[in-house]
């Protein structure tokens, strides 16, 4: 790794970037515009976020807070847990453990830096970690493996049974750094007594592990507070999801990113609720005025990203969507599986969703096991893709509900479980009447395919298929 990368802790650097960006709004509009001249490097990422108004500003605040928690965990007496985006952090906050979500941090670096996480991706090779593994974990774990980040106390994942490359990254890190490791293992089925029992027993074992390694006991009051907050958040998200059905959608395209980012960073905490409330207000105003969320004022087509987004620097994916008037109906990360959300009610999928019950400690633990097993990917990428409640069923149902014109698949070359069958999925969705586009890029590494090339090919697809 280059010498410069070892001069400062990378998470401290990243925190400073986002904290400074968050402070930009504390002046007047004129001061803000003037300041942009002095940050030519970061102007590209700041502007698209700030142009969203209050939700964008709150998003920056939230991201800065997340990193601040990590950087100051040790001095504030908190333990840290390296974890994955599809692991609901509510339990950590309930136990005063600071989550370090690898993929969300990778997204932040890929947005903000020209070189993205390239140095840390490369360091993984030096550490003996395979370069074919998913770049979403590699981009950040490389930094921790190199010892240029905050101290890690434990490593927790819930991807076994869902995503090998994800689970493997955490297992590798735990062996390399010699840190305690816990895996929530997912059975091939989502529903049914066997799976319910499995999820619950596993979650109880998780709590024992967290108590042992944090030195803190799970307090029912604290947990209730987190779950109450989470319920508030679920209600807001349900409203946003209902609104997203309107044609044209009144929800600005980047809100999807803010929705899932907030949940992954701060589920159960007020920081997440604030961002969601702010978005709901803005979207509701648009809906009342029958105004589309797209800044250009015209929604030419509606897309559904059946997997994840592309995190090219400066939010170029969303800039392209805005520029081309392409509506965005969500992706696998933004859809929620609480019992009160529109798609659960529409398709009678209560069994596949979770219920929040805070009446007792036991019921709350059962709730947590339910929430976690219904997190994005964890819910729908188990067993075969065409089994009940799995990826194909979800994709087709959501594409229909949200009146999608095009389905787009984007991931990373490390995604073994989707590349293993994405052609099959595309065949099925095409057969169902949805033109389906497979992106061969890497959401976290532009060296695989530049954003320019990715965008060009996508727009060419839309032209060739006469969609736009």
Partner 1 sequence: MNKFIEAVSTLENSYIKDWKSRGGRVVGYTCSYVPDEILHAAGLFPFRVRGFSAADTTIGDTYFGPFICSLPKCMLQLAGEGKFNFLDGIIITPGCDSMRRLDECWRKAGDDIEGIMPGFFFHFGVPHKFTDYTLKWFTEETKRLVGALNAHFGADINNEKLSESIKLYNRSRALLARFDSLRTKENPPFTGIEALAVVLAGTALPKEIYNVMLEEYLTEMNEAPGLAGRSRIMLVGSANDDLELVRIIEGSGGLVVADNLCFGSRLYSDAVDENSDPVEALVTRYLSHNECPRMYGDYKNRLLSLKEKIESAAIDGVILQNIRFCDLHGSENGLFERDLEKEGIPCMRLEREYGPLVETGRMKMRIDAFLERLGRRTVAP
Partner 2 sequence: MITAGIDVGSLTSKAVIMKDGKFLSSAILKSKPRPWESADLALNSVLEKTGLSMTDINCSVGTGYGRDKIPFIKQALSEIACHAKGARWLMPSARTVIDIGGQDCKVMRLDEKGEMVKFITNDKCASGTGRFLEVMAKVMGVELSELGELSACSKSPITLASACTVWAQADIIQHLNEMIPIEDIAAGINNAMASRVSTLVSSIGIEREVCMTGGVAKNSGVVSSLEKTLGIHIKKIRRDDPQLAGAIGAAIYAETVSNGGKI
User: Which residues make up the interface to partner 1 (CB under 8 A)?
Assistant: 127-130, 132-133, 157, 160-161, 163-165, 167-172, 174-176, 181-183, 185, 187-189, 194, 197-198, 201-202, 205, 383-386, 413-424, 427, 440
HSE of 12, CA atoms in CB hemisphere, 13 A: 13
Minimum distance from CB of 196 to partner 1 (Å)? 11
Nearer to partner 1 by Cβ, of 270 and 420: the residue is: 420
CA 326 centroid distance within chain: 21
Nearer to partner 1 by Cβ, of 160 and 220: the residue is: 160
- Find the binding residues for partner 2 in span 128-187 (CB under 8 A): 128
Measured CA to CA, the distance from residue 234 to residue 431 in angstroms comes to 33
| b/e 402-440 (16+ beta carbons within 10 angstroms → b) | bebbbbbbbbbbbbebbeeebeebbebbeeeebbbbbbe
Binds partner 2 (CB under 8 A): choice among 1, 36, 50, 301 = 1
Minimum distance from CB of 39 to partner 1 (Å)? 37
Nearer to partner 2 by Cβ, of 129 and 260: the residue is: 129
421 contact, one of partner 1, partner 2, none, CB 5-8 Å limit per kind: partner 1
- Interface with partner 2, residue 125, by CB under 8 A: yes
Measured CA to CA, the distance from residue 1 to residue 71 in angstroms comes to 22
Minimum distance from CB of 317 to partner 1 (Å)? 21
- Interface with partner 2, residue 122, by CB under 8 A: yes
Minimal CA–CA distance to 434: which of 329, 313, 297?
A: 329
- Interface with partner 2, residue 3, by CB under 8 A: yes
| Token reading at 248 | 């044209």
Measured CA to CA, the distance from residue 194 to residue 74 in angstroms comes to 40
Nearer to partner 2 by Cβ, of 125 and 360: the residue is: 125
176 contact, one of partner 1, partner 2, none, CB 5-8 Å limit per kind: partner 1
Quickly list DSSP for 168-206.
HHHHHHHHHHT--EEE----S-SSSHHHHHHHHHHHHHH
- Interface with partner 2, residue 450, by CB under 8 A: yes
Measured CA to CA, the distance from residue 293 to residue 248 in angstroms comes to 8
| Token reading at 275 | 């961002």
Which span sits near partner 2 by CB under 8 A: 103-111, 233-241, 313-321, 443-451?
Answer: 443-451
Written in H, E and C, the secondary structure of 145-161 is HCCCCCCCCEEEECCCC
Which residues neighbour 286 within 8 Å (Cβ) at sequence distance 6 or greater? 250, 251, 252, 292, 293
Minimum distance from CB of 178 to partner 1 (Å)? 9
Nearer to partner 1 by Cβ, of 175 and 247: the residue is: 175
2 contact, one of partner 2, partner 1, none, CB 5-8 Å limit per kind: partner 2
384 contact, one of partner 1, partner 2, none, CB 5-8 Å limit per kind: partner 1
Measured CA to CA, the distance from residue 111 to residue 113 in angstroms comes to 6
Nearer to partner 1 by Cβ, of 18 and 198: the residue is: 198
141: β partners: none
- Interface with partner 2, residue 447, by CB under 8 A: yes
Minimum distance from CB of 219 to partner 1 (Å)? 25
Nearer to partner 1 by Cβ, of 171 and 301: the residue is: 171
Nearer to partner 2 by Cβ, of 115 and 345: the residue is: 115
CB-CB contact of 79 with 145 (8 Å): no
Pairing of strands 406-409, 79-83: unpaired
Which span sits near partner 2 by CB under 8 A: 59-67, 125-133, 325-333, 337-345?
Answer: 125-133
151 contact, one of partner 1, partner 2, none, CB 5-8 Å limit per kind: none
- Interface with partner 2, residue 7, by CB under 8 A: no
CB-CB contact of 47 with 36 (8 Å): yes
Question: In a 3-state reduction of DSSP, which class is residue 379?
Answer: coil
420 contact, one of partner 1, partner 2, none, CB 5-8 Å limit per kind: partner 1
Report how many residues bind partner 2 under the rule CB under 8 A: 11
Minimal CA–CA distance to 251: which of 346, 327, 302, 337?
A: 327
- Interface with partner 2, residue 41, by CB under 8 A: no
CB-CB contact of 328 with 241 (8 Å): no
Minimum distance from CB of 174 to partner 1 (Å)? 6
- Interface with partner 2, residue 34, by CB under 8 A: no
Measured CA to CA, the distance from residue 270 to residue 173 in angstroms comes to 31
Count of CB atoms within 10 A of residue 144's CB?
25
Nearer to partner 1 by Cβ, of 188 and 215: the residue is: 188
Residues forming contacts to partner 2 in the complex (CB under 8 A) are 1-3, 122-123, 125-126, 128, 446-447, 450
């Amino acid at each position: 790794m280059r010498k410069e990368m070892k001069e400062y802790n990378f998470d401290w650097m990243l925190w400073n970037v986002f904290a400074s960006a968050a402070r930009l709004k504390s002046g007047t509009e004129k001061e803000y515009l003037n300041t942009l001249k002095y940050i030519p490097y970061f102007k590209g990422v700041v502007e698209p976020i700030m142009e969203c108004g209050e939700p964008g500003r709150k998003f920056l605040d939230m991201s800065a807070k997340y990193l601040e928690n990590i950087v100051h965990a040790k001095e504030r007496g908190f333990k840290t847990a390296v974890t994955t985006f599809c692991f609901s952090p509510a339990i950590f906050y309930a136990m005063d453990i600071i989550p370090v979500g690898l993929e969300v941090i990778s997204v932040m670096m890929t947005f903000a830096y020209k070189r993205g996480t390239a140095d840390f991706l490369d360091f993984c090779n030096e550490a003996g970690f395979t370069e074919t593994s998913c770049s979403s974990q590699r981009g950040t774990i490389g930094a921790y493996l190199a010892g240029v980040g905050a101290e890690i106390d434990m490593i927790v994942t819930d991807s076994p049974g869902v995503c090998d490359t994800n689970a493997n990254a955490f297992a590798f890190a735990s062996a390399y750094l010699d840190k305690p490791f816990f895996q929530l293992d997912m059975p091939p089925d989502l529903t049914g007594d066997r799976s319910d029992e499995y999820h619950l027993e596993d979650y109880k074992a998780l709590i024992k592990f967290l108590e042992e390694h944090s030195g803190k006991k799970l307090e029912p009051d604290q947990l209730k507070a987190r779950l109450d907050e989470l319920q508030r958040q679920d209600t807001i998200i349900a409203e946003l999801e209902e609104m997203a059905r309107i044609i044209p959608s009144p929800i600005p395209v980047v809100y999807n990113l803010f929705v899932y980012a907030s949940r992954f960073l701060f589920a159960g905490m007020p920081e997440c609720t604030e961002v969601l409330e702010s978005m709901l207000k803005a979207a509701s105003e648009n809906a009342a005025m029958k105004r589309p969320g797209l800044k250009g004022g015209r929604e030419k087509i509606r897309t559904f990203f059946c997997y994840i987004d592309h995190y090219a620097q400066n939010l170029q994916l969303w800039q392209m969507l805005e520029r081309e008037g392409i509506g965005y109906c969500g992706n696998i990360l933004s859809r929620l599986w609480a019992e009160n959300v529109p798609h659960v009610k529409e398709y009678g999928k209560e069994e596949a969703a979770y219920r929040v019950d805070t009446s007792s400690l036991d019921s709350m633990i059962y709730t947590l096991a339910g929430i976690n097993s219904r997190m994005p990917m964890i819910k729908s990428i188990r067993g075969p893709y065409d089994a009940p409640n799995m990826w194909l069923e979800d994709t087709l149902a959501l594409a229909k509900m949200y009146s999608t014109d095009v389905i787009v698949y984007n991931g990373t070359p490390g995604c073994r479980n989707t590349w293993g069958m994405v052609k099959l999925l595309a065949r099925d969705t095409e057969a169902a009447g949805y033109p389906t586009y497979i992106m061969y890029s890497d959401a976290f590494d532009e060296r695989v395919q530049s954003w320019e090339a990715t965008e060009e090919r996508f727009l060419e697809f839309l032209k060739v298929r006469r969609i736009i």
